[in-house]
Each structure stands twice: as C-alpha cells, then as structure tokens.
Structure 1
Amino acid sequence: MPLKIDEITEVIKKQILDYGKEVVVQEVGTVASIGDGVALLFGLDKVMMGELLIFNDNVFGMALNLEEGAVGAVIIGDDSQIKQGGKVRRTGKVVKTPVGDELLGRVVNGIGNPIDGNGPFVNNEFAPVERIASGVMSRKSIDQPLETGIFAIDSIIPIGKGQRELIIGDRQTGKTAIAIDTIINQKGKNVKCVYVAIGQKESTVAQVVQKLKQAGSMDYTVVVSASASESAPMQYISPYTGVTIAEEWMNKGDDVLIVYDDLSKHAIAYRTLSLLLRRPPGREAYPGDVFYLHSRLLERAANVNEKLGGGSITALPIIETQAGDISAYIPTNVISITDGQIFLSEQLFNSGIRPAVDTGLSVSRVGSSAQIKAVKQMGGTLKLELAQYYELQAFAKFGSDLDDATRTTLEHGAKIVELLKQRQFTPLSEIMQSIFLLAIKERYIKWLPIEEMANFKSEVIKHFEKDEDGKAVLKLLNVEKAYDESLTEQVQTEVVKVLKRVVKTVKDWKSVNFGTEAEWRKLK
C-alpha cells in the first residue's frame, strides 16, 4: 500500500508537538488480602509514603508500608466493602484535611469530614495532614501566658503560648476537666481551640461538646473525634488532622490551643496498625518508631516569629498512667518530648483536693516567662511553701509533739491547699489570682480557720467584682498588670476589708490558733 506524504507529515508534526510531554498513566493495583482495616496490595510500584488510595471508587486508604513488590495500606473508613482481588487506584496526592474558619463550631471525624449533622463544608480549602514542623530559626521564645483559669496551674506551673505541657495521671483524676476548663477560659482572649478525642466513648465526646456549647466556647473551637468505635487507622490519623487545622490558623498569625485526649490510646492504635502491617514489635509490643509517632506531632506546636505570621500553637497532650507509674514506656517518651508536665495524683483527688495537681512532680520548663508581672511578684515563693508543707506533713505523722514554727508552717500550708481548691467551670483571671497570692504572701489568711478559706475566697471575688472601691482597684490592676507600692497598699486595704467581714463570723479565737487573742480581737 503506497504511503501518503500528507499522512506521514501529520504524524511527524504530532510527535514534535507532543515531545517532552509526560504520558499520564493511572496506576491500578490489586488487593491481595484485606482484614482488620489493613490491606496488602500488589501492582502499585510508584506509590508514595502516606499517599491517598481509592478502593472501589468510594473507600479511601493510606499507604504506610512500602515493601519490595507489595504495599501495606490502612483503610480509612469501612473496609467491609473491599474484597480480595478488588482494584485499588493511586491518587498521586497525600492525605489531606479541610482547614479554615469554616470548621469553628463543628465536630469532624479523623480526616476532617463533618459528623455533627450540620451539612458539608462549602469552602474546599485543604492541607496535608503530615507536615514537617517549623524549624528552630523560625521560632521565637515563649513570653506570653496562656491562661488556664486554674489557680493551682497559672500560679505554680504556668503555661505559655507555644508550649507543650503534658497532663498526666491515672484514669478519673480530672485530666480532661483541666483541658476543658482551659478551652472555656479562652473565651474573649482571641485564641482558637482544637479538641482531639482519640478512642473516647461517643457519649463522652457528646458531653464535652455540650459543656462547650453551654459555656459559649464552641464558637472558637473545633472538635476532632475518632471514637473507640472507629477503626485504628482513623484513631491514628486524627491528631495529625487536628494539628493541621491548628497550623493553618497559626500561619495566619492566630494563637491556637490544641488538646490531644489522649495519646496513650493513640499509641495503642498505632501499635495495632503496626502489628497488622507485620512490623517487628519492640518493648511492650510497640513498634520501634513509636517515639517518632509523638515527637513529629508535638514538635508542630510552636511560637513562630513575625516573618511567619507571629502565631502560636500551644499543645496539651494527655497521657493516662497505670497506678501512677510515670516511668512507663509511653509516659517517659512524651515527658521527654514536652516542655513540662502537670501530674494529677489519685491520692489527692480521693482526699478532696481538686484539681488534684501534685505540685512536687509537676513542672513547667518555661516557668515565670509565661506569667504576668503581678503573679510573678506575688507568687514567687508559693511552690517552696507547698513543698515545705508536704515534707513536714509526712514527718508530722510520726510525732505528736511539734514546735510552734513547724505547726505554723503546717497550718499555713493547709490553708494554701484549701485556697487552691477550685470547682470545675469556674475559671479565675490571673489578676484575681494575684490578689489571693498577695493574701498568702502577707499572711492575712493566718487570722482565719481553715474551714473559712472557701468563704474568704468567694467573698474576695464578690468584693472586687461588686464593691465600688474593689472594682476601681481591680480595674487599675487590670491596666497595670503589676504591683507598685501604691497599688499594693490599695489591694491590701480592700483585702483587709473582706478579712474583717469574714473574721466577724468566726466565733472562737482558738479555732484560728495563731497570734494572740488580743491581736485577733483588734482585727475583729
């Protein structure tokens, strides 16, 4: 058959035009085995680590094991629809989550899809869930407090914006309560919040959402829920989804608080995945990279410099201990990653001291840099006084004969502990805390029996919020945020007014057990 010159010319022209263009070939693989939310795949030779895969056009997965000739993937969703011998397709994209202000007030699942029944997101802004954390040179020092509203924490173990402070303790010791109180206390402070619930009961998450709604805190909060009924892959990915949502706001210059409740269950979900993927088990059957699991998550909390927007992410990871053992594998891992820990003691909790913060084992590596000047001035010796009290309390059990100095220290410490007690959902501002610290520092509380501490506390709050003189001093203190000689005297005058009112209700001088009766009657 004779060749036509025109046809040959057209073919050559087309080849010249298409030269250098990549031919897009959709890579399709086969499911070799499926079970427990994990699939073994063949035929995906060029798949990326963490790449999003599509099974049967409606179920998603993520590539986690890249082996020679096979790929191990976890299923994000319902794996019952996937059958052995079925097809799987590459997307060429890593797993992403929706981000932006549209998420505020919503409850989403582990990959950022809404599950609160309020409809889908309109805005299609997405970001990859796995990112490299901000570098050292892009960060600045932590110098602004993130107020929790909890007296025992803000005055002794302060948290700064950009810090990673671990909340650790046995189950049912009030770990989540501290985190929720901190979120509620951010109302009106221009801080956005992300609460990540990992492996919690759905009813528990619903209660948390309800509490946040009642407090008006859902307006600036997004809840990421991967409940206990969800698959291990969903629980594994949920904290990375949460921090990606937070990072988007940080990059725009916002301050963000993120709570991971809790990372013990996250580590268990990852161990489940790893064993199903046939990764070699190590200590307590956890995989060798379990430290990296949490370090790459928590390192994304930062206080970035102005060139990157000047925003911050403050992380409050929660870890559950067994019988108070903070030297176990996962607790020690997370302690070494974070900038301090708030240790909650079951013994203190059961004895009625709530929040049950153990001030001896708790520490903030940021310290007074994360406090306003007023609290620094008045609360510098508080931790030392409590340490002396707990030490003497242990020794006092062995002997009944105590000298006056020891008895005074014990009584003063017991009154401080009583003042530090705080009911849930009743946050205190740092300025109000500084007034109580002044009352402790000036030893005004010595004139009251221990039973009157709660009454004294509520009377002081009432006086500074409702009395005209008290309101004027509080307003001035809120502006200055520090004590000078004049302001100290004014606050002392107002505290003494309250003290005299409360002392009048005390009938017996012997219940005070301090100073002389003449001094006490003069005050009364």
Structure 2
Amino acid sequence: MIILAINIKDIFEVIEQQIKNYGKDIVHTEDGTVVTVGDGVAMLYGLENAMMGELLIFPNDVYGMVLNLEEGAIGAVLMGDDSLVKEGDIVKRSGKVVETLVGDALLGRVVNALGVPIDGNGPINSKEFRPVEKIASGVMARKSVEEPLETGILGIDAIIPIGKGQRELIIGDRQTGKTAIAIDAIINQIGKNVKCVYVAIGQKESTVVQIVEKLKQAGAMEFTTVVSASASELAPLQYIAPYTGVTIAEEWMSKGDDVLIVYDDLSKHAVAYRTMALLLRRAPGREAYPGDVFYLHSRLLERAARVTKEFGGGSITALPIIETQAGDISAYIPTNVISITDGQIFLSESSFKSGVRPAVDTGLSVSRVGSAAQIKAIKQMGGTLKLELAQYYELAAFAKFGSDLDESTQQTLEHGKRIIELLKQRQYRPISQIDQAIILLAIKSRLIKWLPVDFMSYFKDSLIHHFNKSPEGKKLWTRLDKAQAFDDKLEQDVLAEIKIMLKRAIKLIDKYDYSQYGKIEEYKKI
C-alpha cells in the first residue's frame, strides 16, 4: 500500500503542475521523473526535448532508451536491472541516440549489444562511434549485385547463388542446420578479404561460446566480430543487437570493404520487440506483434547493400535466419522477412532426418539475383542442375507407387541419386568455386553414372584432392582458376583427367566387390 500511495502522490503532483502551467509558456526541461517502473519499462514525465531512440541516464548507472513519445509522457526501456530504479527518480538526457564502437579494433572480439567487450580481452582500442539507427542507403547510392559471395557449399553456390550486397534468408525448422550454413559461409571467407559479423540474438551463451571456438579453430575469428545478446539478457538488448551489428558492418562498407553479416535469428528478435511493445502498451496486431514489426526488419535488412565508389564502394551481404514451426513459411514473421529479402534458402526437416545435409530444399529455395552472382564456369556447368533435381524428385514420388519404369525414367532416378550424394557436404569443409566447377562438370557429362551411389562421397573427395595436389590436376586447376570459365580445350582436358580418376575408382570397386551394383564390366566401358 505504501508503493501505491507514492505512485498516486507522484501522479497527482504531475497533474497539478500541468494545470498550473496550462496556457503558459512551458520551459522544456532536460530532466525527467520516473512515474512508474516495472518489467524493464519506465514511464517518465518531463524530458520534452527527448528524441526517439535517445539514450537516457537513470540513477545507479542504469541506462534506458526512448521508444515511446506520447503527449505528456515518455516510454523508455531499461538496459539494466529495473530493481535499481524507483518511482520519483530523476532521469537525465544524454543528448545522443544509442551508439556503438566501430572500426578494425573490433575484429576478433566478442561484444554485447551496446558494443562493450565481453570476451575478457580488455577494452577495445577505438574512439570511433556510430549511431545504431540510420536510414539505409538510397537507390542512387547502390550498385547492382554481380559479384559472387562464395559460401563454399556446393548446393548453394551452384543452385541458389549469393552475391555481395544481397540479402538471402536462411529459413527452416529448429535443428535443421541453419546456423551451420551461416558459420560455413563465414569460414569460407578465409583469404577472400571479406570481414564478417555474427549477431547472436536470444541464443544460449554456451552455443555462442561453441561458435566462437569453432571460428577460432578455423582461423576465421581474425576477420570476424561476434555481437551477442543471449537468451538470459533483457529484451531491449536483444532488440538493439542486430542494429549494433549492422552499424559495425556499415563502417567497413563506407571504407570500401566487403562485409558478411549473419543475424541468428530474427524470429527471437521479433519476439523481443513484441515483449517491449506490449509492455509499452502498444496495440497488438496479428499474432500479438505490433503493427510496425515489418518496419522493424525492413529498416535493418535494407541497410545491406553494394554501394558506389562515391559512398565508399563496399558491400554488406546479409544472411538473416528465421525459425519456422513445422515448416510453416506462411506465418507472420517468415512472410515479412521473405518479402524483404532477395531470396531464401529453405531447409527441409525431412531431408535433414534422411541424412541429406545441408538439407537445402531446391524446390522452395530461390535466389532473385541468380546467375549474376556466379563465376562463368559455375554458370556453364550448373545451369541445368536445379531442373535435373526437380525431375528427380517428381519421378521419385511417382516411383513410390511401384509401377514399372521405362529405361529413361530409371536413368533419371539413378542420376538424381548420385547428384544428391555429391551435394552432401560435411560441416566446416567448404569447397572452392573451382573445385565446384570440376564436380559440376562430372555431373553434367554424366560420367558419375559409372560409379555406385554410395561411392559418390569418396569420389568427390578424391577428385578435389587430385586437382589440388597431383601435378597434372594442379595445372588444370590453375588454368581454370585464371580463366574462371571453360573453353572447349580446357573442358576436354579436365574431362580426360576426371576419367583417370574414374578408372582408379573402378579398381577399388573390383577390390571391395561392388558386384551388387551390376556386372563390373559395365563400369569398364569408360
């Protein structure tokens, strides 16, 4: 009852003061008073000049951020322990919106949502700051997306290519390998002069530690910054984390660097925003999200771009992650982010459970940039791959009925099985685009039909090793790397070298008795 009395008294004083000053020139104050506080949200009186998103200073070193500007009151979310703030406390303006440290000093570091280091490696030696909220680059500042950002994953680079400056959504159910694809893409940037930012939103702290450790082991942490707002942290920190991440990336973009940023994941980001919005008593809409939740992600993802030299000449490529429930991509948040991005990589739970990893569903996945973000060698060899897989999946569904199949249908099914085996890829093992082009040549020329299905993984590894290590293979690899495309002579030379690999593989088939796949003489017709 005492607390209630204090609240009523404070509110009464505010109303009395407003009545006294009615019709008079009001002096705008730079200080405010806490009227109510609870659940990480404070309602304030005063602070007439406060800006949207401004940082507020509460007693006991607690900070807040303005999120509601109402007539006669201000709603702020607290970025600290709300038990340290009480009714009647004086709140001061900082005079600036929320900012974060930027610059190369952040490379290799783990920071929280406010850019403060949390990795135990001391302070960050940078004096450069940028506001975390910024209007995205305009149309005239942007360039077309035409340079590939290699993920190192054959099934993505060949079928759903990503370009520098693109926004490609990674979407799928829980535990289907979404983060694995993003981490592989970061690891594949080693030696490619691309800086990376990984934003963990609502993840377990143990998960973030494991990811940082994997990046260190792979040597990718040297060019990566991790921004973490874990599940145990306040909703305002989870809300601000992705904006902090893209602000760090924009500093590098403005200096001509290419940046890859991963938001893991925006589903939890939307939940954090919904939590704050409901506590601030904003009107709930569909699925209880506030009406501006679309703007929440659009103003974030639109900051990814490839800009002209006048604006720095760099790029930000965004890989937002969205978690679906039972594969429902028609839910509110998934449809919002799909409409904002330039394509999506859809991960299928059924494929994942059947051992196809990465579990990319090539039917539902799409890149709206397409072959513009591929080197010519990949375009030449992978152009029909998506169609071949679509034909395989359609015929495989039909074949389940057990009908007699003609020879052409059987060949399509057998070819499709081998493609799927070649597209399987172990985590933390990216494949270069030149190696991918050679594998795709083996697929396109249908040379793989001579090998058993469960021999495909060994054949792929042997092929990569041969063209990277043997004298003859390395010469051809270097020629293709220099040309970035196949001419008739180079294609024939590479095919001849692949046939050498096939003959070695057939000797192993003899050795290990693969007679169940048919007469071995069939494989010797090469």
TM tier, shorter chain?
Answer: over 0.9
1:310 pairs with one of 287, 290, 313: 313
Matches of 1:53 and 1:374, distance apart in 2: 55
Contact 1:509–1:520 (CA under 8 A) maintained in structure 2? no
- The answer to whether structure 1 residue 278 and structure 2 residue 281 are counterparts is yes
Task: State the match for 2:86 in structure 1.
Answer: 83
Q: Equivalents in 1 of 2:42, 2:445: separation in Å?
A: 67
RMSD: 1.4
Question: Following TM superposition, by how much is the alpha carbon of 1:317 offset from its aligned partner in structure 2, in angstroms?
Answer: 0.1
**Aligned-partner Cα distance in 2 for 1:25–1:406:** 79
C-alpha separation between the residues in 2 aligned to 1:189 and 1:430? Answer: 12
Q: Distance in 1 between matches of 2:523 and 2:99?
A: 68
Report the alpha carbon displacement of residue 416 of structure 1 after superposing the two structures with TM. Answer: 0.1
Write out per-residue CA displacement over residues 311-331 of structure 1, whole angstroms, 9 at most, x where no aligned residue.
000000000000000011100
Offset, 1:511: 4.4
Q: Does 1:426 align with 2:416?
A: no
Shift of residue 512 of structure 1?
4.5
Cα offsets for 1:278-308 (capped at 9, x unmatched): 0000011000000000000000000001111
> Distance in 2 between the 1:116 and 1:304 partners?
32
Give the AA of the match of 1:228.
A
Write the mapping of 1:125-274 to structure 2, written as runs, cut at 5 A.
Answer: 125-274=128-277
**Alignment match of 2:413 (pick from 410, 427, 433):** 410
Do residues 106 (structure 1) and 109 (structure 2) align? yes
Letter in 2 for 1:501: R
Name the SS of the counterpart of 1:445 in structure 2: helix
Corresponding residue SS for 2:198: strand
Superposed, which structure 2 residues align to 1:429-448 within 5 Å?
Answer: 429-448=432-451
2-structure distance, mates of 1:517, 1:124: 69
Secondary structure of 2:282 counterpart: coil
Residue correspondence of structure 1 range 316-355 to structure 2 within 5 A = 316-355=319-358
Which region of structure 1 is more displaced relative to structure 2, 167-176 or 462-471?
Answer: 462-471
- Name the structure 1 match of 2:490: 487
Determine the C-alpha separation between the residues in 2 that align with 1:72 and 1:520.
Answer: 74
SS at match of 2:49: coil
2:19 maps to none
Question: Aligned runs of 1:382-397 on 2, under 5 Å?
Answer: 382-397=385-400
Which whole-Å deviations, capped at 9, do the CAs of 1:474-519 have from their partners, x for residues lacking one? 1111111100011111111111110110012223686445xx9755
Instruction: Measure the CA separation in 1 of the matches of 2:216 and 2:286.
Output: 42
Return the alpha-carbon distance in structure 1 between the equivalents of residues 124 and 80 of structure 2.
19
Q: 2:455 maps to what in 1?
A: 452
Residues 28 and 48 in structure 2, CA contact (< 8 A), matched pair in contact too: no
Question: What residue is the counterpart of 2:359 in the other structure?
Answer: 356
Distance, in Å, in 1 between the alignment partners of 2:211 and 2:39 is 29
> TM-score, normalization: structure 2?
0.93
CA distance in 2, matches of 1:202, 1:464: 41
Residue aligned with 2:180, SS: helix
Identity of matched residues, %: 72
Corresponding residue number in structure 2 for 1:13: none
Distance 1:290 1:25, change over 3 A: closer
* 2:20 match: none
What residue is the counterpart of 2:18 in the other structure?
none
Unaligned 5+ runs, structure 1: 1-23
What SS is found at the alignment partner of 1:477? helix
Q: Does structure 1 residue 366 correspond to structure 2 residue 369?
A: yes
Is contact 1:150–1:428 with CA below 8 Å preserved after alignment?
yes
CA-CA distance at 1:121 after TM superposition: 1.8
2:63 partner amino acid: F
2:401 aligned residue (382, 398, 401) = 398
The one of 42, 45, 49 equivalent to 2:45 is 42
- Cα-to-partner distance string for 1:224-243 (whole Å, 9 max, x where unaligned): 00000000000000000000
Q: Does residue 472 of the first structure (1) align with residue 475 of the second (2)?
A: yes
Q: Distance in 1 between matches of 2:459 and 2:194?
A: 32
1:176-225 superposed Cα distances (whole Å, 9 cap, x missing partner): 00000000000110000000000000000000000001011110000000
284-293 or 113-122, which deviates more: 113-122
Superposed CA offset, 1:1-53 (max 9, x none): xxxxxxxxxxxxxxxxxxxxxxx986111111111111100111111111110
Q: Are 2:126 and 1:123 equivalent residues in the alignment?
A: yes
Separation in structure 1 between the aligned mates of residue 471 and residue 400 of structure 2, nearest angstrom: 47
SS in 2 for 1:296: helix
Structure 1 residue 406: Cα displacement = 0.6
Q: Is the 8 A contact 1:75 1:233 kept in 2?
A: yes
The alignment partner of 2:136 has SS state of coil
Q: Which secondary structure does the structure 2 equivalent of 1:458 belong to?
A: helix
Question: Displacement, 1:77?
Answer: 2.2
- Name the count of aligned residue pairs: 498
* SS of aligned partner of 1:386: helix
Question: Aligned partners of 1:359 and 1:126: how far apart in 2?
Answer: 42
Letter in structure 1 aligned against 2:181:
I
Residue pair 2:29, 2:49 contacting (<8 A) in 1 also? no
TM-score by length of 1: 0.93
Letter of the 1:281 counterpart: P
Determine if contact 2:29/2:47 at 8 Å carries over to the other structure: no
Q: Is the 8 A contact 1:77 1:234 kept in 2?
A: no
Unaligned runs of at least 5 residues, structure 2? 1-26
Partners of 2:113 and 2:521 in 1: how far apart? 66
Contact 1:170–1:321 under 8 Å retained in 2: yes
Letter in 2 for 1:387: A
Q: Which residue of 1 aligns with 2:56?
A: 53
Q: How far apart, in 2, do the equivalents of 1:378 and 1:368 lie?
A: 12
Alignment check: 8 A CA contact 1:344 1:357 kept? yes
Residue 36 (structure 2) pairs with residue 33 (structure 1): yes
Whether 2:302 is the aligned partner of 1:299: answer: yes
Paired residue for 1:505? 508
Q: Distance in 1 between matches of 2:345 and 2:312?
A: 30
Name the CA distance, whole Å, in 2 between partners of 1:162 and 1:521: 48
CA distance in 1, matches of 2:220, 2:311: 27
What is the identity, as a one-letter code, of the residue corresponding to 1:506?
A: I
Verify the 8 A CA contact 2:55 2:66 in the aligned structure 1. yes
More off after superposition, 80-89 vs 224-233: 80-89
Q: CA-to-partner distance for each residue in 1:84-135, whole Å, 9 max, x for gaps?
A: 1111001111110100001000000011111111111232210000000000
Per-residue Cα deviation, 1:142-183 (whole angstroms, up to 9, x for no partner):
010000000100000000000000000000000000000000
Structure 2 counterpart of 1:112, which letter? G
